[in-house]
A and B are shown apart, each in its own frame.
Chain A
């Protein structure tokens, strides 16, 4: 059966150019980047080229890029590293719609590191009010963490305003930009952000590699101890092939963004208008306009996410019911509940995220299949056997 992949927020296929670059590194560049001889220098050069590409993508200095094993580690390093700094400050402010990599880390710090955690709510579109962040900051606040755009509902957050507030109050500001770097312009010289998480596999790079932007001058302790790689911020021999893949993926994303993001936004809008026209009662989650160019998220009354995903898969469409990281849970998403959605409605969540390979024909076929699937599921729920 022909498959249509519409879950690019979960992960993306590796770009062939990325795969080729990684394969070449694996075949030809075996040295340890820390070694001083020729093989080591070659590996170090490959890592540094990738660092330049990542830096160029967000307008950072190469020295401000720390490679990690992915978005989750970047988030952990940001939160744990910032809160570990011994400066008498112990406050962490974050929001109710963060990824588990942030929220669970924050709760862990609250429980085991005596961090004072404040979780700020959002409005019905999932937007964080900067004034609420300003209110949550006190004299002992060490770090504020607000995601750039939400992975489930696609809402883009006002991180420039929030960053300005943090800077004004002398508080370090972190943003999980895993869903945005590559899709939106992220310029760390314009946005007053101190720490920013990046992930390769959300932008056609490999899984298991990411980066944390650490603005020069930001105080950040380390989580791991060892050989001192990445200036001691993330020690451990570098994942050279993965890092090279991240670099190439970032360059390609940067080059294509101006044409690709508007193209995907048009497909997203076709999905939104199609679903609204053909699936009765479907509610769009997230902000109607300030949203990721590839994200359409819905709640469909009378259905529940697990059945929607299974039924769509059997029709040949890969979609999700929110975050791939929480698949297997049938409780409604914490993000959707934070929007104030009714629990029953929130169970019927569906996330459709388009990508570079998605065509208008894919979108049309999907909307038709979804109409069929929803009709069947609603009938099944309505008829007692």
Chain B
């Protein structure tokens, strides 16, 4: 490998170790940290990689490795492409995946573009648990991490050949988290004992508070209906509900009822039994493939419907950039989540689960 490799450093142990592995290999490594929230704000969101405090941790890790380090500002694009999308999705009755948005629009679009075009970098590395390899045919492949328990390939399904040609995931080959921490300790990285980031990084507490603050119109009470239109109760607002959830639907019948779908246009939450809500047919939008194109217009695959979800046998039928997914057995899927196709450990592609046509 030649040329400068930039490492997106979050301040956490994973990306620090990614930088350490590359530096240890003798690569010309440059650390970059992305400011994702305006300076000085969100001091109470300790798990957010885009705050000042995380930036300081990243700076210290880079200093420990003796690599150049820059703090770059992506707060505007993160606000638009991740936070706004997140709020709008909930307000629109969907269940967003902000990690997917961040990877798609911030890390592997805005940052990757800047690294290559502005700063003359050859490659971008991140601390994701996934593997990017080159097949015998010269095509780049995206694989699950060696450590299945840490695998993050689900949230990277949108990467295509152009991106993967310039991406490295140095920690995807590590056996497990303990190996990551071992390396961190060996390199004297100050992040060796730090807690992991998780959940929704930019929301310090309950995400519903953020949605309520930004989209108060999604917190107007409305009726709770059964699929046949019978009103069985009221809810406090579409923005606080998620398809598939049991709690929060104020009904007192003898059955266990789950949110079947949300209809923001009417302000209605439709509930049903487990049998009613799990279906075999789902529709996807914005479908992408790692290879650039589907294996065939209709193909059998394993589909994962949520982060760390189990793979389900499915048949995918392409409809332009959309696709129909037919599952072997019914499953509950929240619109807005990613549906990711796998062939064994290899990511084939994926799309966004669409709200069912009413």
Contacts and interface: CB of A to CB of B under 8 A. Distances in A.
Contacts of B4: 314
A380 B118 contact: yes
Contacts of A379: 117
B184 to A, nearest CB: 26
B72 A314 contact: no
A380 B113 contact: yes
How many of chain A's residues touch chain B, expressed as a range?
10 to 19
A377 B115 CA distance: 11
B66 interface: no
Interface string A290-325: 000000000000000011001101100000000000
Q: Is the interface of B mostly helix, strand, loop or mixed?
A: mixed
A131 interface: no
B72 A306 contact: yes
A376 interface: yes
A306 B119 contact: no
Contacts of B70: 310, 313
B73 interface: yes
Contact of A314 (B68, B113, B117): B68
Interface string B104-125: 0000010001100111100000
Contact of A307 (B30, B39, B68, B118): B118
Contacts, number: 36
B71 interface: yes
A383 B114 CA distance: 12
Given A314-B68, A328-B39, A307 B114 contact: yes
A329 interface: yes
B114 A314 contact: no
Interface residues of B, number: 15
Interface string B57-92: 000000000001011110000000000000000000
A313 B120 CA distance: 12
A199 to B, nearest CB: 25
A385 interface: yes
B120 A311 contact: yes
A311 B30 CA distance: 12
Contacts of B119: 307, 310-311, 314
Interface of A: 306-307, 310-311, 313-314, 328-330, 376-377, 379-380, 383, 385
16 contacts: A307-B114, A310-B118, A311-B118, A313-B68, A313-B70, A314-B30, A314-B68, A314-B119, A328-B39, A376-B117, A377-B118, A379-B117, A380-B114, A380-B117, A383-B117, A385-B117
